[in-house]
Amino acid sequence: MTHRHKPYTRIPIPTVPGQNESEKFSEDMIPTVGFNMRKITKGNVTIKMWDIGGQPRFRSMWERYCRGVNAIVYMVDAADRDKIEPARNELHTLLDKPQLAEIPVLVLGNKRDLPDALDEKDIIEQMNLGAVTDREICCYSISCKERENINITLQWLIAHAKTH
């Protein structure tokens, strides 16, 4: 199984029973080679996200797509402990780029539904997020499959779309 860590991620949009039509998310996805762009609209906020492949051949593009953004979302597979160290190293290499200084970062540990997945505390520790002091950094444990903690992730993104 190929592990992908990425500075942006496609987040599944939950449809919650009982939502008003005006509260539902609308999305527009444009598939491309090596990455995808997705727009998510909730209310009067539109979030434009780039899903960039984590394979080595795409990593050189990360910095370019992270310049001038409101936030960087970095997803790791919280259930694949062997990949945490390389993911940590890639994240810190990315955050060392001067052009990306002060951009807030949201680290998502996906696959929290699996039995051996790291929790938020362990992700923070093993990704060495405490060493990041030049910007806001946040970490959530999520499950895209089970749609766990997706709403809190979207709330964080919406707040940063409005304020940064």
Annotated binding-site ranges for Mg(2+): 32
- Please state the residue numbers annotated as binding site for GTP: 54, 110-113
d(CA 88, CA 7): 12
Query: Can you tell me the distance from the alpha carbon of 62 to that of 10, in angstroms, rounded to the nearest whole number?
Result: 15
Alpha helices in the chain (DSSP H): 56-66, 84-95, 120-126, 150-163
Specify binding-site residues.
32, 54, 110-113
d(CA 65, CA 26) in angstroms, rounded, equals 23
Cα 65 from Cα 52, distance rounded (Å): 9
